[in-house]
Structure 1
Amino acid sequence: MSPVKNQKSKGRKPALIIILALIFLLPLAFSQEEYDYNIESYSIYFDIINDNTVKETIEISLTANTNFSRYVFYSDYPIENPDAIVKINGEMKVVNVSVSKIVGGINAVYVKFPIVHPGDRVEIRISFYSSGMLQNVQNKKQFAYYIKFSQPVGVFYVRLFVPKGYAILSPVIPSPDMVESSENRLVLEWKRENIKAGEEFYFIVGFSGEIKGFSPLWLVVIFVSAFAGGFFAGMLYKERRGKEKVEILRSDEEKIIELLKNGPVLQSELVKRLGVSKAKVSLLLKDMEKKGLIERVKEGRSYLVKLKES
């Protein structure tokens, strides 16, 4: 009898190992499929043209996890003369660029391109002119930019090009990782790695006066002012965060907004229309509530979801 019992117990061990492996691997597989693509790098370049206009260029390098054929960028600022370049697996593709206003006065830049498939490498470059990033604060100009990522990013890179004719003043938040100067302009650079979903950044740079060139002294001023302006920047962040934010939304969030334009929809119905899991829809809606894009009202066992009135 005992040999038979031993054989049964040995047979159960491999099955138990397989079950345990599935328990640990399934959540990992789900998390990898949560996003339509993985963002390896996200770079933003701000070129100050004059007291009112900034040219913004965004470069994104990503790998597709599913089939998709467009990328959407959102901004609270007016967008003019948008242009885009897209490379798929290193090959330049024809793209269509359009701009429209959605709920809350947010501007959406739609970049449409040939469909990409899982594993494809995609490089997107979007550029446009915008106004409103430079504000008059206490008799000086101030550049302010807020961004929040809704999915992980490998490398986040920001460059601000300040033209001849501006003096850098406090605050400069956060302290730049690199500063370069020339006869014609000053360049401030920030770099962050391994960005997590939900992580947010706020950049503030003060300007004043009319000067003909940059002195090396300004490089010292920049780093000193980065520390001196910390408290002021924190207060400004709280007061103006809602006005000056740029959200990077996933394509599923854009689909939800489109569905809600026709009126409120039950959360359970959104699950069916999007074709994704209940858990994923719940997470998406919670994040969109925090962004002030939607409202949810309890109705029976589900929620009634609607666009938030501006």
Structure 2
Amino acid sequence: MPAVKNQKPRGREPALIGLFLILSLIFLPLVGAQEYDYEINAYAVYFEVIDQNNIRETVEIDLTPHTNLSQYVIYTAYPVENASAVLDLGNRVERINVTVREVLGGTNAIYMTFPTLEVGQSARIGLTFTTRGMVSENGGNEQFTYYIKFSQPVGVFHMQLLVPRGYAILSPIIPSPDRVESSTDRLLLEWKRSNVRPGDEFYFIVGFSGEITVPKPPSPWLYLGVFIIGLLLGGGSVYGYILYRERKREEELTHLRSDEEKLLAMLKEGPVLQSELAEKLGVSKAKVSIILREMEEKGLITRTKEGRTYRVFLKE
């Protein structure tokens, strides 16, 4: 049989395919890891409700670049005012140049430019700005809403909402917070998610009442007014009591004078025993003693001891 010309050995092709498969298995994880320019270790968003119209938003991103990185962009559907940012490198903090531009569909792009981060150099971006539109009216109350969707993996996602004193949290609260903390000047709600995957989205809804007017402390003049009124009422009560006592005393003196006149009329007919006067005058023995003592002081009568009582004489 004639030799077959240009025929290649059959053992080399399977060997090359096997080598390719082995190299793919080794380098495929590395290719996947380099799919993104940076790795987001943690992503945190903090919202502080200032009033029904304004919210202070702070975004903190802990990342490690896989290539040299000097710019980071955040997109938001809400207004951005007074934006400022810093880059925390651990041993120093650098200021970040922030530029806000409106892009397609009314979305705002926040461009943050900073000194170049080298491969593997971890850093934290901190962005703060004032926004509005997240709080809307719903059935006479207020409702906070926030939506976020991630386009790449995130190690830990942290979301926090600060509501100042004067507001009361109402339903709905979606999703249920992982932590609720109350203090004298604020109410804090916190959510935390780990191992966020590309395409994961989160929608937050928190209802709360409109601002409650906190009563102002009473004016010092009010306390002074209450004190003066109390003083007047107390003084009036004392004065009224004094008048009552005076009137009562006058009435008693009137009765005494009337009884004195009756007693003088009796004594004009002759001396009388003191023990008999109470029955004749229709008064108590104690009152008879008072009448006689006063008449004696006035020099109208005299008394002489007679047994266990006195005999009363009209003084000439």
- Provide TM-score, normalisation by structure 1: 0.62
CA deviation profile, 1:172-205 (whole Å, cap 9, x unmatched)? 0000000100011100000000000000000000
* Rg larger for: 2
2:145 aligned with 1:139: no
Q: Distance in 2 between matches of 1:53 and 1:59?
A: 20
- Aligned twin of 2:100: 99
Q: Does the aligned pair in 1 maintain the 2:88–2:123 contact within 8 Å?
A: yes
Query: 1:69 maps to which residue?
Result: 70
Q: CA deviation at 1:12?
A: 11
Other structure's SS at 1:95 match: strand
C-alpha distance in 1 between matches for 2:167 and 2:177: 17
Per-residue deviation, 1:15: 7.2
Identity across matched positions, percent:
48
Shift of 1:27: 2.7
SS in 1 for 2:41: strand
Measure, in 2, the Cα distance between the counterparts of 1:32 and 1:61.
17
Give the Å deviation of 1:88: 3.1
Contact 2:162–2:188 (CA under 8 A) maintained in structure 1: yes
1:193-212 alignment to 2 at 5 Å? 193-211=194-212
Alignment of 1:35-184 (within 5 A): 35-88=36-89, 90-184=91-185
**Is the strand fraction higher in 1 or 2?**
1
Q: Deviations over 1:121-161 (max 9, x none)?
A: 12100000001000112221100000000000000001100
CA distance in 2, matches of 1:133, 1:36: 31
Amino acid at match of 1:59: E
* Deviations 1:258-304 (CA, angstroms, capped at 9, x unpaired): xxxxxxxxxxxxxxxxxxxxxxxxxxxxxxxxxxxxxxxxxxxxxxx
Unaligned runs of 5+ in 1: 1-10, 214-310
- How far is 1:208 from its partner? 1.1
Q: CA deviation at 1:89?
A: 5.2
Shift of 1:209: 4.1
- Judge which range, 178-187 or 90-99, deviates more: 90-99
Q: Deviations over 1:235-274 (max 9, x none)?
A: xxxxxxxxxxxxxxxxxxxxxxxxxxxxxxxxxxxxxxxx
Do 1:43 and 1:60's aligned partners in 2 also have CA atoms closer than 8 Å?
yes
d(CA) in 2 for partners of 1:210, 1:100: 33
- Aligned equivalents of 1:89, 1:24: Cα separation in 2: 36
Q: Distance in 2 between matches of 1:178 and 1:131?
A: 25
Matched residue SS, 1:166 = coil
Q: Distance in 2 between matches of 1:166 and 1:14?
A: 72
Partners of 2:142 and 2:41 in 1: CA distance: 34
Q: Deviations over 1:85-127 (max 9, x none)?
A: 1023543223211111111111111110011111111210000
How big is the shift at 1:210? 4.1
Structure 2: state its 5+ residue gaps. Answer: 1-11, 215-316
**Matched residues, number:** 206
CA contact (8 A) 2:85 2:95 kept: no
Secondary structure of 1:206's partner? strand
Going from structure 1 to structure 2, the CA distance change for 1:16 and 1:90 (only over 3 Å counts) comes to: farther
User: How far is 1:26 from its partner?
Assistant: 3.2
